[in-house]
Structure 1
Amino acid sequence: MAANRRHVLAGMGATLAAGALMGRARAQEPGRKFGYAIVGLGSYATRQIMPRLKECEHARLVALVSGTPAKLEQYGAEYDIPATHRYSYADYDRIRDNPDIDAVYVILPNSMHAEYTIRAAQAGKHVMCEKPMAVSAAEAEAMIAACQQAGVKLMIGYRSHFEVHNLHAMELARSGVLGATRIITSEHGFNAQPNQWRLDKPLSGGGSLMDIGIYSLNAARYLAGEEPVEVSAMEFTDRSDPRFATVEDRINFQLRFPGGALASCVSSYTSNHNTYRVHGPDGWLRAEPATSYTDHQMWVHRDGKTEQVRLPTPAKNQFVAQLDHLPEAIMAGTEPRTSGTEGLRDMRIIEAIYQSAREGRAIPLTA
């Protein structure tokens, strides 16, 4: 029986790999745009992602997945998606039989990311998954393994890695024009409204850290240009506030990097922040808003002068550039800039942040 099972699994692996190669070939067909199925029709999907697919050079919207029939009808009509390309969660696995779908973009509550990523990979489809990648490092590892076994790409939706001010900040911080980076501050938060799935731990996996604090963490990492080796954290939540029955409100955490930089980060559901700063011996940079959807601003201080950085408007905004990047990586045969490994690194650090806050001690981090 074991031998037969291995034979079946090997056959499945070969079939999935062949399907992935066919997907790459389809993506390279002249004049053909890469087809995304959007999984989950919440506000981020319908207000930010789906409209941007109309602007993409390499990608288009070809299918919808939702548990709400009225949404499938509404957005199917709006985006001219035929009934054959509209799926419920129950018949999600039928995407395997739709050659127009090259990839899914999973925009669901965090606790659903792993399941729908793995099922997409098993259907031979590439995956874009919103951040946070999962609700645990173990889930993130399973997602990576499933995509590797199926021979499909996995990309995490870290849009700031495609936004020009953030890219410029990375370049400045790593180039040495400010001197060696010594201090990073990164603060993200907003006043969370009640009755959202993100305030329900079984759906979200955690509170502000999983939702908005991940921006503070990811920014500290990409500004430092290296991985932290230690984290310490403290948390405060007013449990009399009905919003926070199951999730945390505020977490402050500090990261120590091997090159000597220290990062101080804030995550909050009761205060508004969207900023980071990088300080070196020769100057500093500040971004505010740093990771918003629009209206980014940045200042640099050097030689006793503070100047606002004014960058040309890019041909593609961060959403369009992110959506186009996955088909570009597939056509090039390279890993996406924000691969599953990037998401896994954040998940491992997030688990260490929660552990530090619980235990009141610094937690060493492994590579």
Structure 2
Amino acid sequence: MFQDHPTAPAATDSESRHDESRRQFINHAGRGLLAVGVASALPVAAAEAATAEAGAPPVTGPLDIKLPPLEAPTDPKGSEPFNPDAPERRVGYALVGLGHLTLNEILPAFGQSKHAKPVALVSGDPEKMRKVAQQYGIKPSSCYSYQTYDNLKDNPEVEVIYIVLPNSMHHEFTLRGAKAGKHILCEKPMANSAKECEEMIEACKKAGKKLMIAYRIQYEPLNRMAMQLVRDKAYGKVKLLQMVNSQNQAHDQQWRHKKALAGGGALPDIGLYCLNTSRFLLGEEPTEVSAQIYTTQGDARFKEVEENVTFTLRFPSGVISQCMTGYGTFNSKSYMVHCEEGTIKMDPAFTYQGLHQERVRAPKSKQLKETPNDPMKDQFALELDHMAECVRQNKTPYTPGEEGLQDQRLMEAIYQSARENKPVKLPAVSKLDAFRGSPPQEQEA
């Protein structure tokens, strides 16, 4: 005879009535009395249950629903119910810029978000914006041009502005957004200079608003697992890091090839992942950088910005991180953490989906290899939810403006080293995670 799972949570009166109705229905169907009508009767039963509850008062506390497990204790644990906030409780976002990242990744990510919702759009293309607004149910009155952007101050639905524009525009639109009284989530790189980053931080502080930089790797579960293994010395001390992030850019006149808009080439766009992830894994700040830049002659894409950068970071613990990034080679996005007793490998490490981790431990007689399951969380949804939680709970984001400023200072040192063809010493920072705020809430895999 089956019994309830011993760890199952106590059911409310409403849940008990539903469970009893469900059991009775299943028992009758199992005896064949309603076998023919099962497909049609299930929706009817659900509708009747919903009708019975129609007069019930709304839930005022957390909406989390718990279900008893379907797996035996020896099997892998299944996922919990999604449990999103009710729409009226979610933090409203305005999306600024409707390019590839916004349309392909960020807007769809709201479907996997628990605490955030899109409520406004800002674009220089009114026809495209009209179509996107219809797709996502955004009111025409909540659609703005770059010229009317400041009118967001009069839209109470908007609590956070997500800036997804060319790098050179981050500074202006952060300052204007803070002046409009909104919190800011800004894509990386934070800006085109350390001075701009400092002004963005100051503007948000002056307005009493939060500033978060969208370093999605620091929120992604597999990368966070790697970070925890490093911090716990699960494979002994870390000695070397190898980081690669390269791709072959399209041969068109995109803004990433214009220095005034991008600030640089491969380094601030994709090399930044190597830089920031090295710092994230170790929690340390480098004390020295050395770098080289090489650009293929005659390639029209690289008249203004660099194609390839290699740079080495030296950390206080003695770890060396060797990083390579390029705009003209086949897609490669991976890293390896070489420790005394094993290796942690992420390949791919920086893509939007399909990340893969492999760990190899070398004990006395044989190697042990482990490949953890990918929780397959939407990286952009995790960012959106973390910022929303910081707004609701008045916490400092894990990747605040200070994190973006530190990377900008380090990139400027990398460019300096390449120009001068010698290492550049950096100020010592003794504190771990010196530029990070409140850690994200870990989610169930």
TM-score normalized with structure 2 length: 0.74
User: SS state of the match for residue 251, structure 1?
Assistant: strand
| Deviation per residue, 1:271-295 (Å, 9 max, x gap) | 2320011111111111000011111
* 2:380 is the counterpart of 1:319: yes
Over 3 Å counting, the alpha-carbon distance change for 1:282 and 1:32 in structure 2 is: same
AA partner of residue 132 (structure 2): Y
Q: How does 1:23-34 map to 2 (within 5 A)?
A: 31-34=88-91
Where do 5+ consecutive residues of structure 1 fail to align?
1-27
Number of residue pairs the alignment of both structures matches: 339
Partner of 1:259: 317
AA partner of residue 129 (structure 2): L
User: SS state of the match for residue 190, structure 1?
Assistant: strand
* 2:157 is the counterpart of 1:100: yes
Partner of 1:281: 340
TM-score normalized with structure 1 length: 0.90
| Deviation per residue, 1:299-321 (Å, 9 max, x gap) | 1111242524223626x422111
* 2:359 is the counterpart of 1:300: yes
Partner of 1:339: 400
| Deviation per residue, 1:120-174 (Å, 9 max, x gap) | 0010000000000101111111100100110000001111111111000101111
Identity percentage over the alignment?
44
Partner of 1:193: 250
Q: Distance in 2 between matches of 1:44 and 1:34?
A: 20
| Deviation per residue, 1:39-75 (Å, 9 max, x gap) | 0000100110001112211110000000111111111
Deviation of 1:239 after TM superposition, in Å, equals 3.1
Q: Distance in 2 between matches of 1:242 and 1:306?
A: 48
* 2:296 is the counterpart of 1:238: yes
Partner of 1:131: 188
Deviation of 1:222 after TM superposition, in Å, equals 1.1
User: SS state of the match for residue 188, structure 1?
Assistant: strand
Partner of 1:50: 107
Q: Distance in 2 between matches of 1:107 and 1:298?
A: 29
Deviation of 1:360 after TM superposition, in Å, equals 0.5
**Structure (1/2) with the larger helix percentage:** 1
* 2:329 is the counterpart of 1:268: no
User: SS state of the match for residue 54, structure 1?
Assistant: helix
The answer on whether the counterparts of 2:235 and 2:341 sit within 8 Å (CA) in structure 1 is yes
The answer on whether the counterparts of 2:356 and 2:374 sit within 8 Å (CA) in structure 1 is no
Q: Distance in 2 between matches of 1:192 and 1:281?
A: 37
The answer on whether the counterparts of 1:301 and 1:307 sit within 8 Å (CA) in structure 2 is yes
Q: Distance in 2 between matches of 1:305 and 1:196?
A: 47
Structure exhibiting the larger radius of gyration computed from Cα positions: 2
Alignment counterpart, residue 364 of structure 1, candidates 425, 430, 439? 425
| Deviation per residue, 1:58-93 (Å, 9 max, x gap) | 110000000111111111111121111000001100
Over 3 Å counting, the alpha-carbon distance change for 1:274 and 1:312 in structure 2 is: closer
Q: Distance in 2 between matches of 1:32 and 1:301?
A: 44
Deviation of 1:332 after TM superposition, in Å, equals 1.9
| Deviation per residue, 1:233-291 (Å, 9 max, x gap) | 00100231011010000000000000110000011001232001111111111100001
| Deviation per residue, 1:200-221 (Å, 9 max, x gap) | 1111000000111001111111
Partner of 1:8: none
Q: Distance in 1 between matches of 2:89 and 2:359?
A: 43
User: SS state of the match for residue 248, structure 2?
Assistant: coil
Over 3 Å counting, the alpha-carbon distance change for 1:182 and 1:118 in structure 2 is: same
**Structure 1 segments (4+ residues) deviating >4 Å:** 28-31
Partner of 1:10: none
Alignment counterpart, residue 222 of structure 1, candidates 273, 277, 280? 280
Q: Distance in 1 between matches of 2:136 and 2:395?
A: 31
Partner of 1:173: 230
The answer on whether the counterparts of 2:222 and 2:374 sit within 8 Å (CA) in structure 1 is no
Where do 5+ consecutive residues of structure 2 fail to align?
1-84, 430-445
Deviation of 1:328 after TM superposition, in Å, equals 0.4
Q: How does 1:137-152 map to 2 (within 5 A)?
A: 137-152=194-209
User: SS state of the match for residue 177, structure 1?
Assistant: coil
| Deviation per residue, 1:311-338 (Å, 9 max, x gap) | 3626x42211111101101222211011
User: SS state of the match for residue 258, structure 1?
Assistant: coil
Q: Distance in 1 between matches of 2:205 and 2:239?
A: 37
The answer on whether the counterparts of 2:198 and 2:405 sit within 8 Å (CA) in structure 1 is yes
| Deviation per residue, 1:176-233 (Å, 9 max, x gap) | 1121111011110100112211111111000000111001111111122211010000
User: SS state of the match for residue 358, structure 2?
Assistant: strand
Root-mean-square deviation over aligned CA pairs = 1.5
* 2:349 is the counterpart of 1:290: yes
AA partner of residue 262 (structure 2): S
Q: Distance in 1 between matches of 2:384 and 2:190?
A: 17
The answer on whether the counterparts of 1:299 and 1:306 sit within 8 Å (CA) in structure 2 is no
User: SS state of the match for residue 291, structure 2?
Assistant: strand
Segment of structure 1 superposing worse, 220-229 or 32-41: 220-229
Alignment counterpart, residue 209 of structure 1, candidates 267, 272, 291? 267
